[in-house]
Amino acid sequence: MRMKLAFCTGIFMLISNQALAQSASENAGTKNRSEVTARSGSLKSDTLGNYDSQALRLESHWGDYRVVKGRDGQVVGTVGLLRSFDVENLVSKSPVAAAEARVYQSNHLPGSIVGAAGGVAFVTGLIMSSNPSNNASSPVLVIFGAGGMVWGASHLNTAYSALSRAIWWYNRDLPR
């Protein structure tokens, strides 16, 4: 019964925190974009080619996301649960995209680490609660593990949304 209650509580916390984090990140993102948009113009003409050879996109691949450049599909970076690269340097030509990349960088690693640690604590608590001994730490591990997973998931959601916006702003500012 304790496991079911802890699991239901964790799911409820996940859903409510996701909704709160999404609305907070949208409000913060709108403010940052409007401040930076006022300062930025479109990117200067590039000697490497036109829009089709410079545009970025995300492609999912076995649990990771690949950042792909141009119509030829050159992979310029891979993003995963514990893997990242310098997105800000990649999109530095667009000030708005660079601001969104900083949001990604500040949320990705903490969300990954805390989410993974929460998952380990949650599973450990579930295993300990199935043990016939009466251990008081198992509900604590389950609750804190679920909380860590929720916190990590909300930060990863913020990070991946910012990555998507960074790529969009970069593509928007490319000359056509």
Tell me the Cα Rg of the chain. Answer: 20
**Model-level pTM?**
0.68
* pLDDT in the model for residue 133: 74
Look at 16-30, 39-53, 102-116 and tell me which has the smallest mean pLDDT: 16-30
* Residue 142 belongs to domain spanning: 2-30+86-172
53 inside domain:
no
128 inside domain:
yes
Q: Which of 141, 148, 114 lies closest to 126 in space, CA to CA?
A: 141
51 inside domain:
no
100 inside domain:
yes
123 inside domain:
yes
Q: How many domains does the chain have?
A: 1
Q: For a pLDDT cut of 90, what percent of the chain falls above it?
A: 40
> What are the tens digits of pLDDT across the range 16-43?
444 444 444 444 454 454 444 444 444 5
Please tell me the distance from the alpha carbon of residue 166 to that of residue 92, in angstroms, as a whole number: 10
Please tell me the distance from the alpha carbon of residue 67 to that of residue 54, in angstroms, as a whole number: 12
151 inside domain:
yes
Three-state secondary structure call for residue 133: coil
State phi, psi for 56 to the nearest 5 degrees: -105, 155
**Cβ atoms within 10 A of the Cβ of 59, count?**
11
49 inside domain:
no
155 inside domain:
yes
Q: For a pLDDT cut of 70, what percent of the chain falls above it?
A: 72
List strands edge to edge, sheet with 64-69.
56-61, 64-69, 74-79
Distance between first and last Cα of the chain: 61
